[in-house]
A = this chain, B = another copy of it.
Amino acid sequence: MYHYEHPRPAVTIDLAAFMLSAGELRVLLIRRDAEPFAGEWTLPGGFVHSEESLEAACGRVLSAKARLERVYLEQLYTFGAPGRDPRDRVISVAYYAILAADQRYSGPGQWHDAQALPKLGFDHAEILSTALTRLRAKLTYSDIGFEFLPEEFTLGEAQRAWETILGRPLDKRNFRKSLLEKGRVQATGKKSRGGAHPPAMIYKLGEDQAQLST
């Protein structure tokens, strides 16, 4: 197995980072300066360094210049087709990340509406499409949606988040029922202030669920 060595492919991570902002599901994109795909948008990514884990590489790419606390990170798929980078054989382990709405991202790149994406370089449109499919699927059978919210939230905020991610309206009573049954969320006792409406109960993620987002 180690008797002789083939040329090694490069290994990178690519990151589909999602965030809710201004009622849109947004994705972080980087504009490329150099060929190939100069002028097009790509997902942020980078080489995996010799002694860092794949997750550490994601963290480095995402928060080199940022100060991020709550970031959900999950491996998505590994893209390794020969020719996906025209320069060299590059195998990319794709991850997707979710930044909570109360985070401030100050690194490079721009946040784009996931519903209206520009043309993407490399195979990043495929990566992003895979990430969106996974994200929407997990929204219904896991607690991943809470990663988009601050630690405390009202049920109305949660419903607007879910609707933005799925891109379709949800029934209010059924949505509330699904969060309230089985202790997925628990009331904090506090009530929201402000807004042209009655104060809303503030909830947090249920204790049993807190570490089980996947």
Contact = CB atoms under 8 A, between A and B. Distances in A.
Given A6-B49, A50-B82, 4 more contacts: A9-B48, A11-B91, A53-B82, A80-B93
Instruction: Give the interface SS of chain A, mostly helix, strand, loop or mixed.
Output: loop
A195 B98 CA distance: 57
Interface of A: 1-2, 5-11, 46-54, 75, 77-78, 80-82, 87-89, 91, 93
User: Which 7 residue pairs across A and B have the least CB separation, nearest first?
Assistant: A8-B8, A54-B80, A78-B78, A7-B50, A78-B93, A51-B82, A9-B11
Given A8-B9, A9-B11, A53 B80 contact: yes
A120 B15 CA distance: 32
A139 to B, nearest CB: 16
Given A7-B50, A11-B8, A50-B6, A77 B75 contact: yes
A27 B78 CA distance: 23
Contacts of A89: 50-51
B52 A82 contact: yes
A11 B12 CA distance: 11
Contacts of A81: 53-54
A145 B212 CA distance: 28
A18 B25 CA distance: 40
Contact of A46 (B1, B7, B53, B75): B1
9 contacts: A2-B88, A5-B10, A8-B8, A8-B10, A50-B89, A51-B82, A52-B82, A78-B78, A91-B93
Given A75-B78, A78-B75, A48 B7 contact: no
A113 B101 CA distance: 48
A83 B77 CA distance: 22
A10 to B, nearest CB: 6
